[in-house]
Amino acid sequence: MGGKFTVITFGCWLNKADSDIMITKLRSLGWEYTEDVESADTIIVNTCAVREEAERNELKLLKRLSEEYPGKRLIVAGCLTRIRPATIKDVSPNAMLISSHGAELIDEVVSSNTDVHVYEDRPAKYLPNYYPELHGHRYVVPIQVGCLGNCSFCVTKIGRMGFGRVKSYGIDDIVNAITNAVSKGAREIYLTGQEISAYGRDRGYDLADLLEKILAKVDGRFMVRLGMMEPLELSRIIDRLLDVVKSDWRVYRFFHVPVQSGSDRVLMLMRRKYSVDLFRDIVKRIRNAFPDATVATDIIVGFPGETDEDFWASVRLIEELGIDKVNLARYSRRPFTEAAYMEQVPEQVKKERSKIATDVFNRVALERNKTFIGREMWGIVSEVDFKGENYVVRSYNYKPIAVRKADIGAFVRVKVTDATSQRLFGQLLESENLGTRYRVDFRITEGLDLVS
C-alpha cells in the first residue's frame, strides 16, 4: 500500500484542517502527496454540505473524476457523505465513502476494501503537521468539533456530529502543535472548529484558557486568528477573552460572531439560542475594548417565515453597529432539516432582499474602511490576491491591505491610501525582510513600533 495521493477540499477552515490531518497521516505511512490529479494514484475529495450550490459542484466534480480516471482510487470524505451517500454512489459507483470523523482514521480506510466507513466519534488526538512547502506561513489547527446548538436550518449537525455535543482537543496537544509550527516558520495560526467559543466545555476549561496558554508557552513572532464564535457561548467568556487578547499583540483584533438575523422572531424560528440584544452587547464590548477591531458576522436572508419587517431589522442592525464584514447568504433549503419543511420565502423575494442587503452592507463596510485612510498600520504579508496583481497584508485587525510588492510572511508597516468596501490599499513603508528590526509594544493597538 502507498503511492501518490492528492486532496481536493471544499468548504470551511475545519475541512481544510481535516484535509491536512489526512495528508499528515498518509505521509507518515510513506505516501507521497501531490497537487497534480493526473499523477496521483488516489484522489481524496473532502466535501461540504452547507449550501446546495456547493453540493451541485461537488457532485459534478465526482462524476467527472470517476469518468476521467476510472483506474484511480477515489475517496470521498466530509459532510456530504452523510447527507447524500446514495447520490455520491450514483455519480461515482467506485468511490469509497468516509464520514467526517474519519479524517483522523484515514489509514484504516486506505488499507481496507470496504466501500463505506462510518465513524460515530472522533479521537480528537491527531492534529495536522505543519509543512512549510504546502502551507506557506499559515498553520490551520482544529481545536474542537461539534456544536451546543440545534439550529433548524443546519445540515452540519447531521454531517458531522449531531448537536448538543462538543469534542475538544487537549490544550497541551494544541500548544505543542503550534510550537512546532512556529519553530518551522509559521507566522499565522488559525484556530478553527465548528464553534470555537464552545472549546473545552467537555474538558473543564475554555477558549480563553487555551489562548492564554498559547501566548504564554509559544515563543516567536506570529499572529493568532480566532475562528467563528457563537454569541451565546461567547457571552460566557467574552470579558476574559478580551482581556487575554488585550494582553498580547499576537492576536488579530478580529471577531467573527454570526448573528444570522436582526429579528428575535426569526432567531426563534431558527432556534438560535440568543437575542439580538445579546449580540448587540457583545459587539459593543468588543468595540469598547478595541475601537479598531474588525467585527464580521453572518446574515441569512429569506429564511422561512421572514417578513419584510424582519428583513429590515437585519439591515438596520448592521447599519447601527457598523459591522465591518457581512457574509450574506440567501437561505438554502437543506435535506433533513426542520427549516426545509417550513413555508418557504419565494426565490424572487430572496433575490431582491439579497441585492438590497448587499448594497447596504457594502456601503457600511466602505464607510468603516474609509476611516483608516491616511493611517499607518502594521501586519503580515499574507498572500497574493486572486488576480495575482497585489500582495495582501493582513493588518493587526485583520483588514486586508493591498500593496504592490512585498515578501510573503513578513511583518510590515503600511500607509493606507485608499479603500473599497472589500479592502484597503496601501503603500509599503517598512518590512522586516528589508533589514528593519521590530519591537512590539502590546499596550497600543495603533501600530507596531519600529526601531532601526
* pLDDT digit string, tens, across residues 199-247: 999 999 999 999 999 999 999 999 999 999 999 999 999 999 999 999 9
Q: What span, in angstroms and rounded, lies between the C-alpha atoms of 168 and 166?
A: 6
Q: What is the pTM of this model?
A: 0.93
What is residue 433's predicted lDDT score, i.e. its pLDDT? 56
* pLDDT tens-digit map of 344-367: 999 999 999 999 999 999 999 999
356 and 383 share one domain: no
List the one residue out of 252, 224, 222 whose CA is nearest residue 432: 222
Those residues of the chain that have pLDDT short of 50 are 434-452
Query: Given this model, what pLDDT does residue 210 score?
Result: 98
Question: Which of 347, 367, 387 finishes a domain?
Answer: 367
Tell me which DSSP letter residue 251 carries: B
**Residue 184 shares a structural domain with residue 323:** yes
The Cα–Cα gap between 217 and 179 comes to 8
Clarify whether residues 306 and 335 are in a common domain.
yes
Same domain, yes or no: 386 and 360: no
Which of 343, 367, 391 is the last residue in one of the domains?
Answer: 367
Tell me, yes or no, whether 82 and 216 share the same domain: no
What was the pLDDT predicted at 159?
A: 86
Question: Structurally, how many domains does the chain consist of?
Answer: 3
DSSP of 78-142, one letter per residue? ETHHHHSHHHHHHH-TT-EEE-GGGGGGHHHHHT---SEE--SS-----PPPP-HHHHTTEEEEE
Contact 28, 59 (CB under 8 A): no
Contact (CB, 8 A) for 81 and 117: no
Q: Which three cell numbers stand for residue 15?
A: 475541512
Rounded CA-CA distance 210/143 in Å is 9
Q: How far apart are CA 78 and CA 95, in angstroms?
A: 13
Q: What is the pLDDT of residue 396?
A: 97
**Same domain flag for 212 and 320:** yes
Shared domain check, 240 and 140:
yes
Q: Residues 108, 185: one domain? A: no
Give the integer Cα–Cα distance in Å for 339 and 81: 21
For 382, the domain range is 376-451
Residue 124 lies in a domain: no
- Sequence-separated (6 or more) residues with CB below 8 Å from residue 288: none
Residue 399's pLDDT is what?
A: 98
